[in-house]
Amino acid sequence: MSRILTWIKDRVKLLRSMRLWLFVMTFAIGLLPCIMLSHVLLSSYERKAIDIRTADVTNQLHIISDHLITHKYMQVNSSESIDAELSQLSNLYNGRILIIDQDLRIIKDTYGISQNKIIVSQEVIRAFRGETVSNYDDQDGYIEISMPIIENVVTDDNGSQSVIRGVMLTSVSSDTIINTQDSLRDISRLVNYLVAVALFVIAVSASAIVTIPLKRLVLSISDVKEGYTSNPVMVRDYLETENISDAFNSVLARLKLLDDSRQEFVANVSHELKTPMTSMKVLADSLLVQDEVPAELYKEFMGDITREIDRENQIISDLLSLVKMDKTSSDLYISQVDINALIELVLKRLRPIARKKNIELEFVSMRQVDAMVDEVKISQVITNLVENAIKYNNDNGSVRVTLDADHQFFTLEVEDTGMGIPEDSREQIFERFYRVDKSHSREIGGTGLGLAITKSAVLMHRGTISVDSVEGEGSTFTVKIPLVYIPQSN
């Protein structure tokens, strides 16, 4: 049962094959016009041939009709030359001619079987009214023509008048036309068969050739399955395959980048977590190897160990924040937040740290701002930026936080009078573990994760963050966040 199902599935799958569709299209597009053309040609040949035959016979009948009048055949009912003419015409077209007088009596039948009989038919009556009527009976294969025999008589006032003396009823066979048509049909059928065979071969090879680049594309994509380091995919045969190759390569490059950054991140995390551990081990070992350690040294070393533990803690909690930020934006807890109040609160918390370096914290509020944001994350953004502005500031410096808004965004600027950031580091400072001056930063207590966390939080709110800085004079970080959070529609 399952085998049959697999077989059916395979067949259905085959129906979606591009190669099959190319084959069907080439074959059908080539053959259909051929069949239609031969059909149209054959039927138009038949119509044309019948028209020509009808015109020919009608002409002949006109001539005979004139002779009938000149030989007064309708009155005397016999004339050798007319009889000869009639039998010649009927032999020529394999037909029968009846001559009917005004009393509807057949005065001449080239078959000789209906002589003197009375005939009443619609065609005869119409001919007596002056009409020439022709019909083609394609079932029995003959053309029937009925035409009046007209004499022009001179009237008393020397005018002329047409008088219908009788009717000629003729039927001629269309066998020769049908035979020619049949042999034409045979030829066209043969031609169609040959065209079908040639088209079959062309369609099979064309569909195979056209799909070769796609096969090569699939093969080279499967070659890349092993890691991201293989050669890039490039099939340039068609613009489309080139575009697919380019798209695939850029996805590959992105994956490689992600993989590299994941590896680098793991290496950095291990290194950062190991550094305080190593310091603690060195401090503890040096206490252990000494027998009589003075109490002050113990105290001093224990103080150092506690600082390293704090640092380790700081790194771990920063890492946890970062991991949380890396998750999807569905982890945002959006609510209406008074941003002015939030800034005041953060500045109040950080004032004691600023005071240690005698740094002035100033808040410039251009307007009252209420925004739909995740309060915890935005508070972390403000804290990180102001903390950095204090950390990387000079003693007696100042930090100014400015808040403004338009109808769409609110803008937060954190400006300091610190050391500034070198031009070539301005992009990198938002990367995880990046620090401009490693030794100095360590001494200050940074983990290199603060701005990475800040940027993630801003991006989660579909905002932007940028930095402007003059070395030795200070830096300004600008954050722009929509007033209303718009979830991403997937």
| Residue 412 lies near ligand ADP (rule: CB under 6 A) | no
Indicate whether 419 belongs to the interface with ligand ADP (CB under 6 A): yes
The H or E element spanning position 70 is helix 18-70
* Helices and strands, number each (H, E), in the chain: 12, 12
Token pair of 477, please?
A: 């970080």
Instruction: Give me the least distance between CB of 377 and ligand ADP, in Å please.
Output: 15
Among residues 321, 330, 337, the alpha carbon closest in space to that of 370 is found at: 337
What single DSSP character describes residue 109? E
What is the C-alpha separation between 164 and 151, in angstroms, rounded?
6
Strand partners, 163: 151
- In the bound complex, what is the minimum distance in angstroms from residue 418's beta carbon to ligand ADP? 5
- Of the residues 172, 447, 479, 481, which one makes contact with ligand ADP according to CB under 6 A: 447
Out of 207, 388, 398, 417, which residue is the one contacting ligand ADP (CB under 6 A)?
A: 388
CA dihedral 418, 422, 423, 427 (to 10 degrees): -90
How many whole angstroms separate alpha carbon 268 and alpha carbon 260?
Answer: 12
**Smallest gap, in angstroms, from Cβ of residue 267 to ligand ADP?**
18
In whole angstroms, how close is the CB of 466 to ligand ADP at the nearest point? 13
Stretch of residues binding ligand ADP (CB under 6 A), selected from 77-85, 174-182, 347-355, 450-458: 450-458
| Number of residues counted as binding ligand ADP (CB under 6 A) | 22
Q: What is the dihedral of CA 356, 360, 361, 365, to 10 degrees?
A: 170
- Decide if residue 149 touches ligand ADP (CB under 6 A): no
The residue among 207 and 447 lying less far from ligand ADP, judged by its C-beta, is 447
**Residue 455 is a binding residue for ligand ADP (CB under 6 A):** no
Binder to ligand ADP among 46, 109, 415, 416 (CB under 6 A)?
416
Query: In whole angstroms, what is the distance from residue 44 CA to residue 39 CA?
Result: 9
How many CA within 13 A on the CB side of residue 110? 22
Stretch that binds ligand ADP, among 35-43, 161-169, 303-311, 416-424 (CB under 6 A): 416-424
**Distance of alpha carbon 380 from alpha carbon 336, whole angstroms:** 17
Minimum Å gap between C-beta 433 and ligand ADP is 8
Q: What angle, rounded to 10 degrees, do the helices at 450-460 and 375-391 form?
A: 150
Task: Examine residue 475 and tell whether it contacts ligand ADP (CB under 6 A).
Answer: yes
| Nearest residue to 236 (alpha-carbon basis) of 227, 249, 226, 223 | 249
Give least dist CB 420 to ligand ADP, A: 6
In the complex, what is the shortest distance from the CB of residue 452 to ligand ADP, in angstroms, rounded to a whole number?
A: 6
Residue 374 found at the interface with ligand ADP (CB under 6 A): no
Query: Taking CB under 6 A as the rule, does residue 389 contact ligand ADP?
Result: yes
- Could you tell me the smallest distance in angstroms from the CB atom of residue 17 to ligand ADP? 54
Compute the least distance from the CB of residue 474 to ligand ADP, in Å: 7
Q: Which of 199, 418, 456, 461 binds ligand ADP (CB under 6 A)?
A: 418
By the rule CB under 6 A, 436 interacts with ligand ADP: yes
Q: Does 448 engage in binding with ligand ADP (CB under 6 A)? A: yes
Reduced 3-state DSSP string for 370-403:
EEEEEHHHHHHHHHHHHHHHHHCCCCCCEEEEEE
- Asked if 236 and 245 count as a contact pair (C-beta separation under 8 A), the reply is yes
**Residue of 57, 106, 177, 421 that binds ligand ADP (CB under 6 A):** 421
Residues that bind ligand ADP (CB under 6 A): 384, 388-389, 392, 416, 418-419, 421, 429, 434-437, 441, 446-452, 475
